[in-house]
Chain A
Amino acid sequence: MAFFIEILIGGLMAGMLYALVGLGFVLIFKASGVFNFAQGAMVLLAALAMARFAEWIPQFLGLQSKVLANVLAFGLAMAMMFVLAWLIERLVLRYLVNQDGATLLLATLGIASFLEGMGQSIFGSSVYKIRIGMPKDPLFLFNSTFEGGIMVNQEDLIAAVIAAVLVTLLALFFQKTTSGRALRAVADDHMAAQSVGIPLNRMWVIVWCVAGVVATVTGMIWGSKLGVQFSLGTIALRALPVVILGGLTSIPGAIVGGLIIGVGEKMSEVYLGPIIGSGIEIWFAYVLALVFLLFRPQGLFGEKIIDRI
């Protein structure tokens, strides 16, 4: 029993991190109908920026405090993502209003390779570390109930809490504020949104900024877990099954999808692994996504869309 709970918790925490990446996709898709292939590149860029700024700032300013350096680096990385959001709207999306979904998708592919190249030429292409002082030792909980307690990875736990807080804040922002409402309106109908005086261009900048925030937080967490390197950009691929499962248009869907995949991966590895061979973790998510594409292409919570991506 204790073992089962341990796996469940591990899976849920990993799932929260997948959900975070999935969320980046959903946000932009909801507000602009663009499937943003550059989300992974944005995560990579933000993580690179964070890692390098954290190195450069102490050298530059002669700071001693590591915490302060990390906070500054985080802030700078975030600011960079905001500038990027503005530039993307200004230089790319503005000219593609009312274009086909496929056109926009290809534009984001272009943005992705540009960002990957630019990120590495500015910040370097070696492996960097983000040291935000995540505790690495495991924690043992419920010692009294179960023998030996339940082992929980502290780093994952903190990451999951950060992700949960971010998701909650975003949900509140979208549901409760005027700008959030305007963003949902834009997502629903561009023309009607303009007729009630919602500025389309500004809304797009805001949504890319929000995606930038998500990318920065994701980059920080994944970067500190796995190290910052080129392959970080590919975690976006791992989030694809998450959004297929949850539905491209649903924020709760991204979260539930992430959790299901996180738990599913771990469970199948542990319980099915001995029977059909290990390594299930690697392909589990994609097979699940495939099943969903066959039987419920709109995902668990998504709206039925006839378009294909």
Chain B
Amino acid sequence: MSRPIGDVILDVSHISLSFGGVKALTDISFDVRKHEIRSIIGPNGAGKSSLLNCINGIYAPQQGSILFRGQEFTRRSSRQIAAMGIARTFQNLALFKGMSVIDNIMTGRNLKVRSNLFQQAVWLGPASREEVRHRRFVEEIIDFLEIQSYRKTPVGQLPYGLQKRVDLGRALAMEPQMVLLDEPMAGMSIEEKHDMSRFILDVNDEFGTTMVLIEHDMSIVMDISDRVVVLDYGKKIGDGAPAEVRSNQEVIDAYLGSSQ
């Protein structure tokens, strides 16, 4: 794969997070390079989601720092982080269930909206022109994710695999620098998993979006990732290209149970 992997855009250094006496993460460091597909894997309870939530600003790690494009953001709200160009999808789907596919994805454009409330309320020129522009962008995403025929369907009525796609679409609508994908393939059938990995690769390829994904299931991750971080019990036990990680003894032990 000769893809233009760039400089480091996300630099996580020595972060530790605990909830009361429970250590969720211990001294984790890794980086993500521009245009890369970077995966975080590990068995259940390894701290993957905690790590993602730190990057997303939902948790603030007690120690260490996170730099995104040179900007420190250990203590920022989710909203500020969204404004910095980090989008995310959710493991347990947090879509707006009663709203149509289009409306869901349109919410991703929220930060790009320039017209103010008053202009929107009276549907003045700038507001409606803007709406049309955003709508066009959203239609492109919908085409890209091949969900054209569902655009007016309330998301709650779609099958799970398609909801996951809408979730990805909403994240893409933010035109993010980096997307965090929280178990994008959890609970999917084999075909759905393949579709999803194709979309992840395509997004990465066409828009140059950096992807950070958490996965539980190793097989697909190994195929699509450039580099993989492996966590176990809140510690980093492996980091590198899929081939390296796969042959790492500690990783094998963590997944298969050590022999001692």
Contacts of A196 in B (CB 8 A): 82, 87, 107-108, 110-111, 170-171, 173-174
Which of B2-10, B114-122, B234-242 contacts the other chain? B114-122
Contacts of B104 in A (CB 8 A): 185
Q: Name B88-109 residues within 8 Å CB distance of A.
A: 88, 90, 94-99, 103-104, 106-109
Most chain A beta-carbon neighbours within 10 Å: one of B78, B106, B130: B78
Q: Is A136 an interface residue (CB 8 A)?
A: no
Contact of A195 among B88, B127, B134 (CB under 8 A): B88
Q: How far is the CA of A191 from the CA of B90 in the complex (A)?
A: 10
Assuming the A-B contacts A195-B56, A196-B82, A196-B108, are A185 and B99 also in contact, with contact meaning beta carbons closer than 8 angstroms in the complex? yes
Contact between B90 and A197, CB atoms less than 8 A apart: no
Establish whether residues A184 and B98, one from each chain, have CB atoms under 8 Å apart when the complex forms. Answer: yes
- Name which residue of chain B comes closest to A189, CB basis: B94
| Size bracket of the A interface | 20 to 34
Q: A192 near B: Cβ within 8 Å? A: yes
| Residues 31 to 88 of chain B near chain A (Cβ within 8 Å) | 56, 58, 77-79, 82-83, 87-88
A245 vs B82: C-alpha distance when bound (angstroms): 39
A177 and B123 contact, Cβ closer than 8 Å, known pairs A192-B90, A196-B174: yes
Q: Which of B90, B95, B103 touches A184 (beta carbons < 8 Å)?
A: B103
Classify the interface of chain A: helix, strand, loop or mixed.
Answer: helix
Q: Once the chains are docked, how many angstroms separate the CA of A197 from the CA of B79? A: 4
Residues of A with C-beta under 8 A to B56: 195
Q: Measured between C-beta atoms, what is the minimum distance from A212 to chain B in Å?
A: 14
- In Å, the complex CA distance between A194 and B56 comes to 11
Which single residue of chain B is at the shortest CB-CB distance from A192?
A: B94
Task: Pick from A173, A197, A206: contact of B110, CB below 8 A.
Answer: A197
Q: Which of B112-138 contact A (CB under 8 A)?
A: 113, 115, 117, 120-121, 123, 127, 130-131, 134
Given contacts A191-B94, A192-B90, A193-B107, contact A178 B99 (CB under 8 A): no
A182-B110 in contact (CB<8A): yes
Q: Do A199 and B131 have beta carbons less than 8 Å apart?
A: no
A176 within 8 A of B: yes
Q: How far is the CB of B124 from chain A (nearest CB, A)?
A: 11
Q: Is the CB of A185 within 8 A of B78?
A: no
User: Which residues in A have their C-beta under 8 angstroms from that of B103?
Assistant: 181, 184-185
Residues on A with C-beta less than 8 A from B123 are: 172, 176-177
The interface residues of chain A lying within 8 Å CB-to-CB of B77 are 194
Please report which residues of chain B, range 144-177, place their CB below 8 angstroms from some CB of chain A when the two chains form the complex.
170-171, 173-174
Q: Known interface pairs A196-B170, A197-B82. Does A179 touch B88 (Cβ–Cβ under 8 Å)?
A: no
Query: Can you list 8 A-B contacts with CB-CB less than 8 angstroms, sorted by A residue number?
Result: A178-B131, A179-B120, A185-B107, A189-B94, A192-B94, A196-B110, A197-B79, A198-B110
